[in-house]
Amino acid sequence: MAIEPGLAASADLTVEESDTAEALHSGDVPVLGTPRIAALMEEATVAALHGHLDPKATTVGMRVQLDHLIPVAVGSKVRADATLERCEGRRLTFAVSVTGDAGLVAAGKVTRVIVNRDHFMERVR
């Protein structure tokens, strides 16, 4: 199963109260929280890899770099688009953007690492 630059996928979200900075304890305003944006970005990267990994493998998050550019209200819809840019051994780097009706909400990079699922889980037991 080939993992090569260009793999891409999206993840959609309709912002709910539980997605807000207030609910996530990352601020005190009822708008889409930065931690939820990071999770949506990671969701898109995982979707891009779906069906491309060996059944014994998975990926784990290593780094999330993002610029949160504009606020998004509860009830609004946003989409994260992820495209695999670089494969360096087991390290995969994605360019990710989040857009909504008002334009570019956030942009950044997500790095994931391919691991053997069983060996990884042995480390946390």
The full set of domain ranges for the chain reads 8-122
pLDDT tens digits, the chain, 125 residues: what are they? 689 999 999 999 999 999 999 999 999 999 999 999 999 999 999 999 999 999 999 999 999 999 999 999 999 999 999 999 999 999 999 999 999 999 999 999 999 999 999 999 999 88
User: Where does residue 89 fall: left (phi above 0), alpha (psi -120 to 50 degrees), or beta otherwise?
Assistant: left
Q: Is 26 strand, coil or helix?
A: coil
On whether the CB atoms of residues 42 and 65 are closer than 8 A, the answer is no
CA distance 14 to 39: 14
pTM of the model: 0.96
- Fold classified for 8-122: Thiol Ester Dehydrase; Chain A (3.10.129)
